[in-house]
Amino acid sequence: MRIAVLSDIHANLRALEVVLATLGEVDAVWHLGDVVGYGPDPDAVVERLRGLGAIGVCGNHDTAALGGPEIAYFNVDARRAMEWTRETIAPTTREWLTTQPERRSESDFSLVHGSPRDPTWEYVTTAPAARLGLEFVTTPYVLNGHTHLPLVFRDVDGLVETITPADGSVLRLDGRPVMANPGSVGQPRDGDPRASAMVLDTERSELRWYRVAYDIAGTQAAMRAVGLPARLIERLDHGL
């Protein structure tokens, strides 16, 4: 199977559509949460994922959109965007978001937004955090998001190796424990404004990362049109 693995789409429909077109034909779509929040197209993004039969997990922005207490911990811009999202999303979007679990297992893969230890909130950016997280799963592989950074942590003879995938990077899955992050579709934060995504090829036992340019100006114009915070709009230019 060839599976698109997407995370942190953040209601950015333009980025999502270009990523899907670039990845080409896939047998399934897995998402790792934060489908909504920040961006201008929450209903359209959920509708697109629903149409694809995507499966996945909820992120902290998804639960906040449903009225969860997470919004209290957001910075001022994220909170303003979430307040707009709460007021805007359709009942069908709410209904779909409520069906997304905190964690999911698919064969050899555990899917979470943050980490296996704390599915919606923990940021895994260091080898020690990854090592702890891997202790909370029974599958050899973990797919996570939340950081908006393409990252891999791999167990090598008891030590955790850190890998930063670039466009076209391929990781062979050979049974050693791995935690892999596809990066963010809708709001990358590694200094590269291009959308980031990953494809899992189960026949080849490999992960491949993709970076895709999209119409940033179009997304920014849509954000301005609905009154989303200027700092969120400007960040898209710089991948921050």
DSSP for 118-166 reads: STTT----SHHHHHHHHTT-SSSEEE--SS-SEEEEEEETTEEEEE---
Domain ranges of the chain: 2-235
Mean pLDDT in residue range 49-72: 96
List of residues 6+ apart from 161 with CB closer than 8 A: 127, 153, 154, 155
Mean pLDDT in residue range 137-142: 95
pLDDT of residue 158: 82
Is the per-residue pLDDT at 105 higher than 90? yes
Alpha helices in 6-125 (DSSP H): 13-23, 42-52, 60-65, 76-88, 91-98
Give CA–CA dist 151/112, Å, rounded.
14
Mean pLDDT in residue range 114-123: 94
Give CA–CA dist 188/53, Å, rounded.
24
The three-state secondary structure class of 53 is: coil
Mean pLDDT in residue range 92-117: 97
The three-state secondary structure class of 34 is: coil
Give CA–CA dist 141/230, Å, rounded.
38
According to DSSP, residue 66 is labeled T
Mean pLDDT of the residues in the chain? 97
According to DSSP, residue 70 is labeled G
**172 has which bridge partners?**
206
pLDDT of residue 79: 97
Mean pLDDT in residue range 24-48: 98
Beta strands across the sheet bearing 178-182: 103-106, 109-112, 141-143, 178-182, 150-156, 159-163
For the chain, how big is the Rg over CA atoms in Å?
17
Structure tokens, 79: 């909170």
62 and 100 in contact (C-beta within 8 Å)? yes
pLDDT of residue 157: 84
Alpha helices in 156-235 (DSSP H): 216-225, 230-235
Tell if the pTM clears 0.75, that is, is over it. Answer: yes
181 and 148 in contact (C-beta within 8 Å)? no
pLDDT of residue 33: 98
**5 has which bridge partners?**
30, 198
**Percent of the chain having pLDDT more than 70?**
100
Angular region, 52: left φ>0, alpha ψ -120 to 50, beta rest = alpha
Mean pLDDT in residue range 14-38: 98
Angular region, 149: left φ>0, alpha ψ -120 to 50, beta rest = beta
Query: Could you name the CATH architecture of 2-235?
Result: 4-Layer Sandwich (3.60)
Least confident of 2-16, 155-169, 187-201: 155-169
